[in-house]
Chain A
């Protein structure tokens, strides 16, 4: 049900295309909320990520733990 409610709120948008002429003060919040991520889409943020490999090395040395690196073209936090 938790996932169904946001989906239902977005239903009106499924039936109307948006063009450059369509953003108005009236639909501002509706369009904004349809673009912003839902909580389940940003659950990865709850992990105690370090921003860079070297930040990971610094903390791993301090905590005596292995470094787990997720490396992508474009920073994974930017998802680009």
Chain B
């Protein structure tokens, strides 16, 4: 499959936006996504989750929603590639320049803070005294989302005049962003953020441990407590970070959160596992590859313009 995949341009995207917005890429998607039949049942608002193969010009080549069925996926890919090769180049390629059309597309990724602090946040269930019965995928579940800070916000994780042993408070609005939008129970699937009113505690205290050769070594300690309806999150936070004064940027930034979650949301697959149960999160600096540059799930709640 890896070899065959080289004959395609693989991409991934969020489907709700594609089927609900009017940007050119969304209209492009809706113009062909149902040609193989709706993959998840009838209805205009029914999700179009699935795998699709299409020419750059928008000629539909195939679709399925069997991501866990490699033989079916191979079959889809082989047939689509055969059909693609049979098409005239004028039919399979666009007559316009897609780079020009990209300028009309409005999406969160355009706000990527290249000079700021981009964190990847991993989430996973932590072991518990009495394991609960769950499908294998649910036991192994893990998730990842992103947390963005603009340059001026990234600087606020440090005191203006750092000296060894200095203790300081990270501004609460920064910790609150991490809590409301990332310390959420998304381990098994899509969930909701916490409201501002749900945050009962969101503290992070920093200590300058050392300053050596232009590197400022910081440790963090804090706590987060959130309650909203029947769900809650109660976490302790510890972290280690290194500010590179020469590069004027964080060279290391890591925060570990561990504690207890309870309750569920509509799509996070906790119907039979509402807890309270242990959960953990780890924030680390994201890489520079495409998967690390997608927008945080709740970017639209940041209030950025």
Hey, which bits of chain A sit against chain B, CB under 8 A? 13-25, 28, 31-32, 34-37, 41, 45, 47-61, 63-80
Contacts and interface: CB of A to CB of B under 8 A. Distances in A.
Interface stretch (B93-101, B149-157, B169-177, B245-253): B93-101
Interface residues of B, number: 87
Nearest to A74: B190
A56 to B, nearest CB: 3
A23 B234 CA distance: 12
B49 to A, nearest CB: 5
Contact of B29 (A53, A55, A72): A53
A33 to B, nearest CB: 9
A59 B290 CA distance: 14
Contacts of A13: 126-127
Given A14-B127, A54-B24, A60-B55, 20 more contacts: A20-B258, A23-B257, A23-B258, A49-B11, A51-B13, A51-B293, A53-B11, A56-B10, A61-B56, A68-B5, A68-B53, A70-B12, A71-B14, A72-B14, A73-B190, A75-B295, A75-B297, A78-B143, A79-B143, A80-B189
A41 B5 CA distance: 19
Given A17-B126, A21-B236, A36-B122, A68 B9 contact: yes
B168 interface: no
Interface of B: 2, 5, 7-16, 18, 24-25, 28-29, 47-56, 61, 67, 77, 80-81, 84, 89, 92-94, 98-99, 101-102, 105, 107, 109, 122-124, 126-129, 142-146, 186, 189-191, 223, 234-238, 254, 256-260, 267, 278, 280-282, 284, 289-297
Given A13-B127, A51-B109, A72-B49, A63 B9 contact: yes
Contact of B278 (A19, A37, A71, A79): A19
B291 A68 contact: no
Given A73-B16, A77-B12, A79-B143, A65 B259 contact: no
A76 B80 CA distance: 22
Nearest to A72: B49
B297 A78 contact: yes
Given A59-B9, A68-B10, A68-B53, A53 B126 contact: no
B14 A75 contact: yes
Given A45-B289, A71-B52, A73-B47, A23 B28 contact: no
Contacts of B56: 57, 60-61, 66-67
Contact of B124 (A35, A53, A56): A35
Nearest to B186: A80
B98 A35 contact: no
B11 A23 contact: no
